[in-house]
Amino acid sequence: MATTTISNGAAIAQDWPGRYYHVDQVLDRPGPRTDESFLAGEGVKDFLRNKCKILVIGAGGLGCEILANLALSGFKDIHVIDMDTIDISNLNRQFLFRPKDVGKPKATVAAAFIMSRVPGVKVTPYYGKIQDKDDDYYLQFNLVICGLDSVEARRWINATLVNLVDPENPESLKPLIDGGTEGFKGQARVILPTISSCYECSLDMLNKPTAFPICTIANTPRLPEHCIEWASVLEWPRVHGDKKLDTDDPEHIGWLYKIASARAQEFKIEGVTWSLTQGVVKNIIPAIASTNAIIAASCCNEAFKIATSSAAYLNNYFMLIGTDGVYSFTFEHEKRADCPVCGGEAVDMTISKELTVDKFIETLIERQDIQIKKPSLSSGSKHIYFQAPQQLEEATRPNLEKTVSELVDDGGEITVTASSLPFSLSLRIHYS
Amino acid sequence: MLQNESQDIEAATATLQAQPDSKTRRYDRQLRLWAASGQAALEAARILVTSGSATSTSVLKNLVLPGIGHFTILDASTTAPADAGNNFFLNADASIGKPRAAEAVPLLRELNDSVDGVADVRDLAALLDTPEGRQFVAGFSLVIAHNLPKTTVEKLADLLWQDPLYPPLMVVRSAGFLADFYIQFHEHCVIESHSETAPALRLTKPFPALQAWADSTDYDTLDPTEHAHIPFVIILIKEADKWRAEHNGALPKAYAEQKAFKAAVLARQKKLDEENFEEAEAQAVRLWTEKGVPSDVQALLDLPALAPDASPNVAFHALLQTLRAFVSDPAGPGTLPLTATLPDMKTDTESYVRLQWQYKEQARVENVRFKELLRATHPDVSIDDALADAFVKNAHHIKLLRGRPFGAFARDAAALASALDMAPKETLTHLGLNALSAVLERSAEVTPEALTAEIQAAVGAGVVLPEDELENVVEELARAPTADLPNTAAFLGGMLAQEAIKMVTKQYVPVNGYCVVDLIGSTTGVVGAV
Ligand SMILES: [Zn+2]
């Protein structure tokens, strides 16, 4: 996938007099809560409008808003990465897209829209994955704003930016501003890699995804969701073999809906609908324009304050709940000393002497503060279990039956890695 | 798949829905929040926005996207170079010199074909001076006003307060990083508040079928599988009965008693890992926290009615009075009507479905009784079944907010004094924005001193204001008194749209009081609630 830079005819146009009347009021003079380092006037405007380079990750619900806000705030060199194409269900909030754009890459369409609406702003889109880019790519930016719905992608960019920090080079520290929403709720936070709490530090704050035990799905279904899971987890592979379930294919959803409805009828369970089927199999999170607007504005406001020093910035977590009145909570989330990304200390874990490697892996998968899907384990130079490559998997498979205590001494360390994460986790094992 | 198996599926699923239409697909992510009823309310809404400022168009963007019926931008001004710089819904410098409303409307309308939008270039202040103009303004379902001149917003608020049938007014004021907003309404009633607290399961007052089930369940005659699948509801009813029999009819009260009760529940396990008993232990708390009538609903039942005939909430009040009658009905359960929704629990399909059916059946009986009471006590009020059903189903979560006119808080010395004490930063920001309007109104220079003088005059000369907070507010306001910053505008655009959606759909709970926003500290806070 290639990077395309769309040059904008109006980009060379001079700023018209009065264009920044509003923004300049806070750039021309300090306020009572402005840091002394603030260079009021031309200096800060020159940096913001001519030198600052900002990366936006995600061109979806938050991304569209973020791009528009940054452009109006005076950022002129904006890059945006998104691997998705536009779907009709995006149009209720992703306001840079129109029905004619369905199927096109979000990054490209969003970039073109911003450049046509806000003269003089250059938006460089990349239609692809954040993992395609290397350290040098990320090093070119002053700031990174993240508007993603994927936990995995956020963990990746967070770890990448933490690893990028070189104590000898202050420029290598890239503030990361992260936003997320769900329905009328959302949060925005500022992460100063290695200095403040990072995304990984707060992993245990995420809601645990609802998982239905297989035995419930197979034997004692009670809810419509159980019937839908039965259709997608058990029946789909049984009937369709290796054919992959495509949750964006209406025919596939239609099939699941039909199978789930039949099972529900058999067990006299009510409530299987098309919408619920789609919601369960795609893990759909409700999303509206207004909440995205609030959280994206909060992220961009922090980016603006950090880039200009015109006012103190968020330290470091803003949480909003809009379901019952307007309730928000602003607090400093604390760094975790045993954070696998920014902490440096090993996580202490006490387990039974009888625990097998197999069960130990299950325990790891269930831990909310670790959230790892297919962990590989080693201790020092000793391989305990590796998910891949195949040869290594086969060679280490017999260890699954052994107890951890056979392989690791009390107080010994286990290193956990996973292909989805750009970091490893150290566990110090104690036996009860 | 076997031939007859697939035929069974065909037969069983003959009534399946087709794939949703394109409108449902477009709105899928919001329909999961407010459903078709909320969407219909949005589509019926006609919203007046009294300027084409960056904040105003941000609000509108977030209302056009989800599909409000109609909006009018009322704005007599032409686009200034500054507007072209901070407003995404203008054609940048190409809009300069042209009417701001007319420039903004097409760019908002293109966000959603199904929304109707009109640019009206008349002057609001002039309209408020004529009966036709006032009638025009009062004819919308919601009015949103950003940074209006002081006298204009006061006139507008006065007009819309005159009649409870007039639309609610949302007033938003911003200057740089600081802002506040307020929703003026007489009364706002919510049936679907989407509260996350679970409705009562009647564990301490089981209905007859449930009690019979508990009574007929004998732990000792069940086989191990059945024993491990007794629903926690049944376990708790049995254990509560046993406890009451041994404690003169009282349920566990003190912490030690509650602990003992839980231990007794766990001791019923025949094997160590019977999850239904573990669940019963975890859910035992319902026995001492579940109330027949939750205290916030009780407060509504005790509320004196507003002049009911003039209220747009006649139906809600009739339902509320009926609820009062239902609770005190000697033939009834003495609680709110039962909700049929059951949480999932560790049991087998058959028991769960049976339990669900019993709750549904009891809920149906009580729903019928509620409607009988409604017809008997309010023969003249027309309430369709769907509304009554929704009310009964959500009786645990109903909300009723009462409001005051815009500006009343700042005239209430006692409320101000207490707010200054409890939330000095938010209260001073609100007073600071009042002061800013006053200083701008007389075209004086906005200085910290001028703002301080206004604030001091508003609270009374004798009131001592916290110095640091005051300084932070007046200096920040004087720094950027007329700045409609793009990020502040976008933030408020989201906030106001969330509130507008809550007002229009009558779902979720809107803010009551002045919501104060500080985008330096990134905080929000509410002051001046009734
Ligand atoms: Zn960390």
Provide, rounded to the nearest whole percent, the portion of chain B with pLDDT above 70.
96
Domain ranges of chain A: 20-207+287-331, 214-282, 347-431
Partners of B193 on chain A (C-beta within 8 Å) are 324
- Nearest by CB to B522, which of A17, A119, A314? A314
pLDDT number for residue A11: 40
Q: Which two tokens stand for residue B340?
A: 């049929």
CATH number of A214-282: 1.10.10.520
pLDDT number for residue B315: 92
Phi first, then psi: give them for residue A237, nearest 5 degrees: -65, -30
Distance from CA of B245 to the nearest CA of A (A): 33
Distance, CA of B328 to CA of B331 (rounded, Å): 9
| A201-250: pLDDT as tens digits | 999 888 777 788 899 999 999 999 999 999 999 999 999 999 999 999 99
Do A287 and B29 count as a contact with CB atoms less than 8 A apart?
yes
Q: Are A431 and A352 in contact (CB under 8 A)?
A: yes
| Cross-strand pairs, A80 | A56, A125
The verdict on B93 touching A (C-beta cutoff 8 Å) is yes
Residue B81 has pLDDT above 70, yes or no: yes
- Given pLDDT bands bounded at 50, 70 and 90, which one contains residue A14? low
pLDDT number for residue A4: 38
The verdict on A5 touching B (C-beta cutoff 8 Å) is no
Residue A6 has pLDDT above 50, yes or no: no
Terminal CA-CA length for chain A: 52
Distance, CA of B290 to CA of B311 (rounded, Å): 33
Nearest Cα residue in chain B from A320: B524
Q: Which two tokens stand for residue A173?
A: 């520290």
Q: 3-state SS of A347-408?
A: EEEEECCCCEHHHHHHHHHHCCCCCCCCCEEEECCEEEECCCCHHHHHHHHHHHHCEHHHHC
Residue B150 has pLDDT above 80, yes or no: yes
Average pLDDT over residues B380-391: 93
The one-letter amino acid code at B17 reads Q
User: Do β-strands A185-191 and A317-321 pair in parallel, antiparallel, or remain unpaired?
Assistant: antiparallel
A215 is catalytic: yes
Q: Which two tokens stand for residue A167?
A: 């104590």
Distance, CA of A71 to CA of A153 (rounded, Å): 25
Under DSSP, is residue B179 helix (H, G, I), strand (E, B) or coil? strand
Distance, CA of B389 to CA of A350 (rounded, Å): 53
- Nearest by CB to B82, which of A18, A222, A301? A18
Do A31 and B524 count as a contact with CB atoms less than 8 A apart?
no
Partners of A267 on chain B (C-beta within 8 Å) are 349, 353
Sheet holding A122-127, edge to edge: A122-127, A77-82, A53-57, A143-147, A176-182, A185-191, A317-321, A327-331
Ligand 1 midpoint to CA A34 (Å): 28
The verdict on A228 touching B (C-beta cutoff 8 Å) is no
CATH class, B21-189+484-527 region: alpha beta
Q: In terms of residues, how long is chain A?
A: 432
Average pLDDT over residues A317-327: 97
State the catalytic residue, choosing from A52, A64, A215, A339. A215
Q: What is the DSSP secondary structure assignment for residue B270, as one 8-state letter?
A: S
- Given pLDDT bands bounded at 50, 70 and 90, which one contains residue B11? low
Of A245, A372, A392, A298, which is closest to residue A66 (Cα–Cα)?
A298
Question: Cα A194 to the chain's mean position, in Å?
Answer: 18
Taking all residues of chain B, what is their mean pLDDT, rounded to a whole number?
94
Computed from CA positions of residues A264, A266, A267, A269, in that sequence, does the dihedral angle turn out positive or negative?
positive
Within 8 A by CB and 6+ apart from A333, the residues are: A189, A196, A197, A201, A202, A205, A316, A317
| B186-221: pLDDT as tens digits | 999 999 999 988 889 999 999 999 999 999 999 999
Do B85 and A239 count as a contact with CB atoms less than 8 A apart?
no
Under DSSP, is residue B515 helix (H, G, I), strand (E, B) or coil? strand
| A404-431: pLDDT as tens digits | 999 999 999 999 888 777 788 889 999 9
Are A20-207+287-331 and A347-431 the same fold in CATH?
no
The verdict on B88 touching A (C-beta cutoff 8 Å) is yes
The verdict on A195 touching B (C-beta cutoff 8 Å) is no
CATH topology classification for A20-207+287-331: Rossmann fold (3.40.50)
The verdict on B26 touching A (C-beta cutoff 8 Å) is yes
Partners of B476 on chain A (C-beta within 8 Å) are 31-33
- Given pLDDT bands bounded at 50, 70 and 90, which one contains residue A367? confident
Report the range out of A128-132, A373-377, B312-316 with the highest average pLDDT.
A128-132
Phi first, then psi: give them for residue A417, nearest 5 degrees: -130, 160
pLDDT number for residue B364: 97
Distance, CA of B448 to CA of B425 (rounded, Å): 16
Chain A, window 122-161: residues with a beta carbon less than 8 angstroms from a chain B beta carbon: none
Under DSSP, is residue A421 helix (H, G, I), strand (E, B) or coil? coil
Nearest Cα residue in chain A from B350: A267
What does the radius of gyration of chain B's CA atoms come to, in whole angstroms?
Answer: 29
Helix (H) or strand (E) holding B13: none
Number of inter-chain CB pairs under 8 A, A vs B: 280
Helix (H) or strand (E) holding B399: strand B399-402
The verdict on B21 touching A (C-beta cutoff 8 Å) is no
Distance, CA of B394 to CA of B338 (rounded, Å): 10
Superfamily of domain A347-431: Ubiquitin-like 2 activating enzyme e1b. Chain:  B, domain 3 (3.10.290.20)
- Given pLDDT bands bounded at 50, 70 and 90, which one contains residue A9? very low
Provide, rounded to the nearest whole percent, the portion of chain A with pLDDT above 70.
97
Distance, CA of A75 to CA of A177 (rounded, Å): 15
